[in-house]
């Protein structure tokens, strides 16, 4: 019924992955897309997705990895993308939250992966934090589509991404009291949204601050149903259809 389009299902955060998958199914979250975004994460997530039904994988180098990734890694990534059943490249993008000093290297890494996405006609999962302008400018150079992961910008920015053909990944933040994301969701409509947890991070209220997992997707969906004044079933159906389409599940 529900699809968690973005989570980090790793032994780094969870002791018992079998149990997590079992809990997800009980919560009617029957499909998840796990994201591997550094060398270790990529390797581990490529192992994990093969073991379970309904588990898909997205791989790509996170902007935090900008100073650790070279041409060889990009070549290897391309090889892995072509030799595994990967549904998207990501999360990739730009993050100036901690520093902008490595901006050039971040853009280099982002562009290298966008080139691959364009060449292989694969969707991208975009991480963008404090870097809206550069993200949009860079994306516009390539013929790609996909998801703006953990979208947290203004309605104006949301509309730009939607116009470019992207879906917005909406997660636990929409349940936070101090977030303006509710207004964005109301205005942009569920037809432009996919659900995600970004677990283990960003657990929704009332679990804010604890270890998140995909089983919390219905809490996020419930909030969106409230905001858009539609049923939970409609949210499940529309967001899952969106995910099927974007990722070719
Ligand atoms: Ni993530």
CA of 58 to the centre of ligand 1 (A): 10
By CB atoms closer than 10 A (0-12, 13-18, 19+), residue 133 is exposed
- CA 170 to ligand 1 center in whole angstroms: 12
What is the 221 CA–ligand 1 centroid distance (Å)?
Answer: 18
Distance 7 CA to ligand 1 centre (A): 6
Shortest CA distance to 168 belongs to which of 138, 188, 197?
Answer: 188
Question: In angstroms, what is the span from residue 42 Cα to ligand 1's centroid?
Answer: 13
Place of tokens 């032994």: 11
Alpha carbons within 13 A on the beta-carbon side of 112:
21
Ligand 1 centroid to 168 CA: how many Å?
A: 14
CA of 62 to the centre of ligand 1 (A): 9
- Cα 8 to averaged position of ligand 1 atoms, centre (Å): 6
Question: How many A from CA of 198 to the centre of ligand 1?
Answer: 5
Q: Which of 114, 109, 171 is nearest to 145 (CA)?
A: 114
Ligand 1 centroid–CA 134 distance in Å is 19
Q: 223: which 2 tokens?
A: 């909030």
**Span from the CA of 17 to the centroid of ligand 1 (angstroms):** 18
Distance 14 CA to ligand 1 centre (A): 15
Per-residue pLDDT of the chain (249 residues; tens, 9 = 90+): 999 999 999 999 999 999 999 999 999 999 999 999 999 999 999 999 999 999 999 999 999 999 999 999 999 999 999 999 999 999 999 999 999 999 999 999 999 999 999 999 999 999 999 999 999 999 999 999 999 999 999 999 999 999 999 999 999 999 999 999 999 999 999 999 999 999 999 999 999 999 999 999 999 999 999 999 999 999 999 999 999 999 999
Calculate how far, in angstroms, residue 230's C-alpha sits from the geometric centre of ligand 1: 28
Task: Write out the two tokens for 189.
Answer: 């409509």
């Amino acid at each position: 019924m529900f699809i968690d389009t973005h989570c980090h299902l790793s032994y780094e955060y969870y002791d018992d992955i079998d149990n997590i998958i079992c809990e997800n199914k009980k919560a009617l979250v029957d499909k998840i897309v796990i994201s591997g975004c550094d060398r270790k994460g990529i390797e581990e997530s490529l192992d994990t997705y093969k073991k379970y039904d309904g588990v898909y994988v997205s791989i790509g180098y996170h902007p935090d990895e900008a100073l650790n990734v070279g041409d060889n890694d990009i070549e290897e990534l391309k090889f892995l993308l072509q030799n595994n059943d990967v549904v998207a490249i990501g999360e990739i993008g730009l993050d100036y939250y901690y520093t902008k000093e490595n901006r050039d290297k971040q853009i280099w890494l982002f562009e290298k992966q966008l080139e691959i996405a364009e060449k292989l006609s694969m969707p991208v999962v975009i991480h963008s934090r404090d870097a809206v302008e550069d993200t949009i400018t860079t994306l516009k150079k390539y013929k790609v589509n996909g998801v703006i992961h953990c979208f947290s910008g203004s309605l104006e920015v949301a509309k730009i991404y939607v116009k470019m053909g992207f879906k917005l990944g909406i997660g636990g933040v929409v349940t936070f009291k101090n977030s303006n994301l509710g207004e964005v969701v109301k205005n942009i409509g569920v037809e432009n949204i996919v659900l995600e947890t970004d677990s283990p991070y960003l657990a929704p209220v009332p679990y804010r601050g604890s270890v998140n997992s995909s089983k919390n997707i219905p809490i996020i969906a419930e909030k969106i149903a409230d905001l858009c004044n539609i049923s939970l079933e409609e949210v499940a159906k529309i967001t899952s259809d969106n995910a099927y389409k974007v990722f070719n599940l």
